[in-house]
Structure 1
């Protein structure tokens, strides 16, 4: 009997130590578990069981007990730090706090989902079969296969290769199809930057204007421009650490007004002196975008009318925080084909089916390496200018997201590649993957 009691006490003591050491993080852990479950089930239609088994099966996150009823989700760690997420049509799901009222109503974007008789990428019809003589299709299929060959390690979910505006390879793992929305995480940042490019093309803003933040007007931060923010070189303090209680985890899983988090940070260096990747900066830019419109409704409509629905990314939804701000750092969802459309818009330098959405020079702007980034970052897009991927052309640039969400744009090869999953480097070898695809297209 004593031995049984000792054996029972060992895991109990271990659990107690874990909770004690991680207690300050529990609010964030249960917040992540709640939000990820709610959004995935609500937006994609996947089962809670699948989310628990795969998406939430991460260190610490898997400790959370999660209950989902379709329109809301609660999560806690052994009854501690209970967090709730609520879902609304049109704006997705948001973590809420004690100020949330169940009777609250939220404006939703007006969407345009008109039928288009064209084939991919411009319309809804399946593309006509096109055979390119310069493509080794067996080699291409083998290259795509390498992304799925170790499913427990690489955790790839979807791959799409587009060449000259045609899908030439496409593959989905079990449980995912061409109609399954995928969370882009930080690929959302590139969507946000594009909205600024559209406004610039419309002569509605100057990237060199000072960021209109009233609290900055009387100190050194008044020198920070929109360009500095898009290039992540504002000099504002920010800690982008997802393994601890940091600026980014507190913003995403505790803040109700996300743009305010970065706006309240102090300057630690003059603009351009340092490069510091910051999700807070992207959400600040989202808040500044909102200020350009006369109403919340106009702000909510703009990304869809100016970009998303205009190029037929009808599956895309960008979630908001409790204050109605788009969480432009992290929370855009879209099917793999719609993420590919975004890449093709850039491959075609802003021209979509005869309409110019942003100036061709915008591509030069976002792909110009930012000082201090070692050739890896432009303006809310990642670059290969520094040769990080040695077997991939240096003109390749990409929208990157947590866990290996990627839209790769290769102008010199006329290729766009989308890869989504739950693992990134080193578990997923981007260099070899892209090199194999490139080698199959002469």
Structure 2
């Protein structure tokens, strides 16, 4: 991670041994999907991948040192590495923190394709007026897409994570300012109103159960938080690697997926629909209006898109390498951020596996 990231810490498998297609993460084999139930999940060994075995232990040592609990690397859907640390088990649920925003993004796309909502409609069409403390004319500027892209114009610092109307105050007109804010969670209310069922029920039926995830939502410090096993997080990453399709079923349509995982507005080029994007020419960090030059994680692939959560919960999806990387655990450096220099060092060690 670039040194500039350190300014903001107060707020927020290896070398190839040959030349065959199988040696690289970009293998042309068919995408594998594990069964919806049971513990079966096909794997490939480091030796079968022709990756560098001497790079594995330094990676695992680093993960354990940095308070990790679960770690998985998938290539073409098959498990290449799966490790648990510090007393964590494969069957233990752990919270996703803000990495779970991408679940809400995906379910929003599903609700739109089923005709329940339109992301370009104003939020008050679904929640009624007065869901913020903004003047009515300003509130009516805020669309579902503004919530997806963090461009609602809602004040992002003074009121913390509170999302009651009295806490949602005006900072700028919707669409004119990018600011990372918990107000995105109102999309869950929109989905509930639009579908006529609870958000968790709709989520379970339309996403969780269709890809064999476990887990559930709970409220923590005004945040709607998801918790699951590490493998369940990997299942979601695999769905996204396959452009919203699980086996033969298109869970969320590819047009929405493409919009969600590309630059969504002109202010923060490294942000889609609640997804972070690597490899762009500049980026913003939470609770900062500074535009920082370069890619978020310079050592990581440029086409990577990411779900990033507090205390270093990570989903990294790399289409060019047909790879998904999952990390769950406590904060790597005792810093409660979604982004830190942990990402940069971790990717240097992942790269050593196959470069």
Fold match by TM threshold 0.5: yes
The residue number in structure 1 matching 2:207 is 307
The residue number in structure 2 matching 1:224 is 142
Whichever structure has more helix as a proportion of its residues is 1
SS in 2 for 1:391: coil
CA 1:129/1:222 → structure 2, altered by over 3 Å: closer, same or farther? Answer: closer
The residue number in structure 1 matching 2:185 is 283
The residue number in structure 2 matching 1:438 is 351
**Contact 2:200–2:217 under 8 Å retained in 1:** no
CA 1:347/1:220 → structure 2, altered by over 3 Å: closer, same or farther? Answer: same
Shift of 1:192: 0.7
TM-score, L = length of structure 1: 0.62
Gapped regions of structure 2 (runs ≥ 5): 1-31, 281-294
Partner Cα distance (2:230, 2:264) in 1: 29
**Contact 1:140–1:169 under 8 Å retained in 2:** no
The residue number in structure 2 matching 1:183 is 95
Instruction: Tell me whether 198-207 or 302-311 shows the greater mean CA deviation.
Output: 198-207
Shift of 1:435: 3.3
Count of residue pairs the alignment pairs up = 298
Q: Which has the higher contact order (CA 8 A, sep 6+)?
A: 2
TM-score, L = length of structure 2: 0.76
Shift of 1:343: 0.6
Alignment of 1:212-251 (within 5 A): 212=124, 213-215=128-130, 218-239=136-157, 246-249=158-161, 251=162
SS in 1 for 2:274: coil
Partner Cα distance (1:274, 1:428) in 2: 26
Shift of 1:371: 3.7
1:390 aligns with 2:293: no
CA 1:421/1:428 → structure 2, altered by over 3 Å: closer, same or farther? Answer: farther
For residues 264-322 of structure 1, what are the alpha-carbon distances to aligned partners after superposition, in whole Å with 9 as ceiling and x for unaligned?
A: 6233212221100001x1222222222113344xx4310000001111112x1111589
Gapped regions of structure 1 (runs ≥ 5): 1-117, 240-245, 252-257
Alignment of 1:4-403 (within 5 A): 120=34, 122-131=36-45, 133-136=48-51, 138-139=53-54, 141-142=56-57, 144-148=59-63, 151=65, 154-212=66-124, 213-215=128-130, 218-239=136-157, 246-249=158-161, 251=162, 258=163, 260-261=164-165, 265-279=168-182, 281-296=183-198, 299-314=199-214, 316-320=215-219, 329-371=223-265, 374-386=268-280, 387-403=295-311
Partner Cα distance (2:348, 2:258) in 1: 24
Pairwise CA RMSD: 2.7
Runs (4+) of structure 1 exceeding 6 A deviation are none
Larger Rg, first or second structure (1 or 2): 1
CA 1:155/1:261 → structure 2, altered by over 3 Å: closer, same or farther? Answer: farther
Partner Cα distance (2:341, 2:79) in 1: 22
